[in-house]
Structure 1
Amino acid sequence: MWEWALEKKITAKLPHDVWVACNTVKQSWRNANAQIVAFWSACETAVRSAIEIPNKSFPIRPGLYARRYGNWLLLHLPSGRFLVYPAPRASEGGDVTYMGNNQRTRKFERLKTWGGKIVENITQAVACDLLFEAGLRLEKAGYEIVLSVHDEYICEIPDDKTRNHRHMEELMSSLPSWAEGLPLVAAGFETYRYRKE
């Protein structure tokens, strides 16, 4: 693998023995998590197929599919929302790319993606959908959200025991129908000043 990694310029300038140790850990994790690795592959295959054959949906899992519509690659999420990738391209046996903002250069340019990155995007988007829906349930139950930080909501509540963090945990752990069976648990606390728990 070392020679291949050198040729592809993916050694991150690590010395041989350090790279081999890191690669061994990576390969061990992948061997122990074969279903996750297979999901990466399924997502990339669906995306490649959608790019090559516009206006046809390529299912990945129930509620999750890839479809190219015009100059847009759409990933339909279980919530019904879409992730959108502009100007997608897939070279035969090569890279999958789309147009976007390069986080390092801040320029709008062609970006490379792959199965694992696509799954990361899907995972973050589903987490966002779950959080937004939990926020709607909180507000409907009378919790005024004053701030959100990553995956948490901060609410100001009256000091009269009509609302509490345990009730918030229940509301935030409730699953929408599209996420049935997902193991989800929320944890909260009450304090007079905001702090990271």
Structure 2
Amino acid sequence: MKTFVISDLSQIEPRLTAFVAGDTAFLDLIGQGMSPYEAHARQTMGWTGGKLKDEDPELYLLAKVRVLQLGYGSGWFKFAETVKQYGQQQILDLDFSRKDEIRFQNFANTYQPGKGSMYPTLETFDRRQWVNAFIQVSDFRDKNPKITSLWKSLDSELKSAAGDGEDFTFQIASGRTLKYFRCRHEPDGVTCATQKGSVRRVKMYGANLFQNTVQALARDCFGHILTNLDDAGFKVVLHVHDEVVVEVDEADAEDSKQKIQEIMSTAPEWMSDVPLDSEAIISKEYLK
């Protein structure tokens, strides 16, 4: 009889975000068994207690949204909308100073005048959401200079290539090369073609290139794991994003599950300093 072992990589993108940024302190905390969200809260949000998810689930959620979204350059409005989608807007219902409110209004009036003119008409609760989202984004960027400096570096290199109408190419840690074609300056930023010969152009900028780097490395890491599973004799019948479905003998399912998790948690040599983790279940059918 056959059954499935379903296993996925745990928080691969936050781990690789730290790897690309060279945040070894963050990786050290994860290596101690801490979740990336608690590690972030301890590093940048003042958390000094015990297990964050148990002791302060709202701060844990706020840290999670910060980690998953702000490393890729998300702005304050998108951040507020994401929190709203979680149905947990209370995590942004916080007190703030008049100085912070003025700082937000000045920013919105300068860079997002539509939002700036709308702000005074909002209900008090919504104004608190907007200002606190702005505070969270500003705080994340201030306290993660390794990430923001990479945004700026990539952005500068991209703009230089666009000035000459050139392709922009750079190599990532796995050895793969990312390439953006026929870059050029437009009124609202730099655009490129992401496929050779394509007429479709997309806006590109430093934080977006950083996101592409992290997600490309996640794909390369996962591809390495798929190869290792195959080399170990496992039959992968399906893979979705960072998850594998492996067909195994039911009698050996527990042993296979353990071996699969070991393979899933072993990083490629080019990112050997990144502590990987995985979760796995045994099931007769595919489950999410």
> Within 5 A, what are the aligned runs for 1:2-151?
2-9=105-112, 15-16=119-120, 17=127, 18-51=129-162, 71-90=166-185, 95-100=189-194, 108-151=199-242
Give the AA of the match of 2:180. Y
Q: Secondary structure at the residue paired with 2:245?
A: strand
Q: Deviations over 1:73-98 (max 9, x none)?
A: 2221111112221111257xx72321
Question: Which of 260, 270, 277 pairs up with 1:185?
Answer: 277
Listed one character per residue, the Cα deviations across residues 132-188 of structure 1 (whole Å, up to 9, x for unaligned) are 000000011111111111110111111232751111111122222211201211221
After superposition, the Cα gap between the structure-2 partners of 1:135 and 1:33, relative to the gap in structure 1 and judged at 3 Å, is: same
Once the two structures are TM-superposed, the CA of residue 117 in structure 1 deviates from its matched residue by 1.0
- Which residue in 2 is equivalent to 1:57? none
- Percent identity of equivalent pairs: 26
- Is the partner of 1:182 in helix, strand or coil? coil
More strand by share: 1
Cα RMSD, aligned residues only: 2.9
Preserved contact between residue 100 and residue 108 of structure 1 (Cα < 8 Å):
no
How many angstroms apart in 2 are the aligned matches of 1:171 and 1:10? 51
CA positional deviation for 1:3: 4.5
Gaps of 5+ in 1: 54-69, 102-106
Q: With a CA cutoff of 8 Å and minimum separation of 6, indicate the structure with the bigger relative contact order.
A: 2
1:36 to 1:151, Cα distance in 2 relative to 1, 3 A: same
SS at match of 2:250: coil
| Structure 2 stretches lacking a partner, 5+ long | 1-103, 121-126
- Partner Cα distance (1:21, 1:191) in 2: 43
Please state whether the residue corresponding to 1:15 is helix, strand or coil: helix
Indicate if the aligned counterparts of 1:96 and 1:113 stay in contact, CA closer than 8 A.
Answer: yes
Partners of 2:181 and 2:113 in 1: how far apart?
Answer: 27
- The one-letter code matched in structure 1 to 2:178 is L
Aligned counterparts of 1:109 and 1:2: Cα–Cα separation in 2: 36
CA–CA separation in structure 1 for the residues paired with 2:232 and 2:114 = 52
Asked whether the equivalents of residues 76 and 83 of structure 1 are also in contact (C-alpha less than 8 Å), the reply is: yes
Moved more, 170-179 or 9-18: 9-18
How many residue pairs align between the two structures?
A: 174
CA displacement 1:105-134 (0-9 Å, x = unmatched):
xx9533222111111110100000000000
Counterpart contact for 2:162–2:182, Cα < 8 Å = no
TM-score, with normalisation over the residues of structure 2? Answer: 0.53
**TM-score by structure 1 length?**
0.74
1:167 aligns with 259
More helix by proportion, 1 or 2?
Answer: 2
Report the Cα offset of residue 49 of structure 1: 4.0
Alpha-carbon shift at residue 52 of structure 1 (Å): 5.2
Which amino acid in the other structure matches residue 185 of structure 1? D
